[in-house]
Amino acid sequence: MEKVIEFDKVTKVYGKEVAALKEVSFSISDSEFVTLVGPSGAGKSTLVRLLICEEKPTSGKILVAGRDITTLKLKELPYFRRRIGVIFQDYKLLPKKTVKENISFALEVAGIGDKEINSRVEEMVDLVGLSARIEALSEELSGGEKQRVSIARALVHNPKLLIADEPTGNLDPVATWEIIELLFKINKSGTIVLLATHDREVVDALKKRVVTMRAGEVVSDQEKGKYIL
């Protein structure tokens, strides 16, 4: 299958000598579901930050759809961000805005017309199963519901890649499985899912490809892997 994402000897050094990533190399193919595991400080979040261009690596290349994103200019960044979806442990929703407004926001900043926004938002809300809560303020939602809103927002641009950075870190087991199920559904429709987590139970039950990191290095990469640390 075609490689969509490729990390090529990516190193990230903070300050003088703290290496968060050391020559990390691996690739992700079209429609893959990859879990990225490892203890805190292993470099998972750094990797995610590099992938969404929040930071630049100290050395190495990161290719997304053939383009080295480490050379992206500041002006190109917004357009690149619209092609990927990201969700975080803390949801990053606007608390005083409704579910609908939070999702619309991502399309509004891209200058898309109201009509198209409405139909896209309805479609997304339906996908994440929140149609009944569309007018609720996001601060009134449960953790699981919030994460579903953030998934809907991440997918509203129809991205090829969904990056999930510890999406279940704040959720109870039931909500966790609801989110994982949703990520599965999204992956089935052809979107690449990169799930960074340290939830052993989830990883072991998934039986998907597992990339394990420790101290800034990839220590194992297994198809249908388990949490081995």
Q: Does an H or E element contain 99, and which?
A: helix 99-108
Burial 199-226 (b: 16+ CB within 10 A, else e): beebbeebebbbbbbbebebeeeeeebb
* Angle, vertex CA 25, rays to CA 20 and CA 29, nearest 5: 125
Report in angstroms how near the CB of residue 47 gets to other proteins at its nearest: 17
Between 67 and 188, CB nearer to other proteins: 67
By C-alpha distance, which of 155, 28, 9, 27 is closest to 70?
9
Strands across the sheet with 84-88, in order? 84-88, 161-165, 192-197, 33-37, 209-214, 217-222
By C-alpha distance, which of 224, 227, 213, 225 is closest to 7?
213
3-state secondary structure at position 38: coil
Binds other proteins by CB under 8 A, chosen from 111, 135, 189, 224:
111
Is 21 a binder of other proteins (CB under 8 A)? no
Between 159 and 221, CB nearer to other proteins: 159
Q: Which stretch binds other proteins (CB under 8 A): 2-10, 15-23, 73-81, 213-221?
A: 73-81
Between 64 and 211, CB nearer to other proteins: 64
Is 75 a binder of other proteins (CB under 8 A)? yes
Report in angstroms how near the CB of residue 27 gets to other proteins at its nearest: 24
Distance CA 24, CA 218 (A): 6
Q: Which stretch binds other proteins (CB under 8 A): 27-35, 55-63, 89-97, 180-188?
A: 89-97
Between 114 and 135, CB nearer to other proteins: 114
Contact flags string 113-152 toward other proteins, x per CB under 8 A: xx--------------------------------------
Q: Which stretch binds other proteins (CB under 8 A): 58-66, 75-83, 135-143, 213-221?
A: 75-83
* Dihedral in degrees, nearest 10, Cα atoms 180, 185, 190, 192: -10
* φ/ψ of residue 216, rounded to 5: 85, 5
By C-alpha distance, which of 144, 127, 137 is closest to 91?
144
Between 92 and 200, CB nearer to other proteins: 92
Report in angstroms how near the CB of residue 111 gets to other proteins at its nearest: 4
Binds other proteins by CB under 8 A, chosen from 48, 86, 186, 196:
86
Is 79 a binder of other proteins (CB under 8 A)? yes
3-state secondary structure at position 146: helix
Is 69 a binder of other proteins (CB under 8 A)? no
Which residues are at the interface with other proteins (CB under 8 A)? 52, 74-75, 78-82, 86, 92-94, 105-106, 108-114, 153, 157
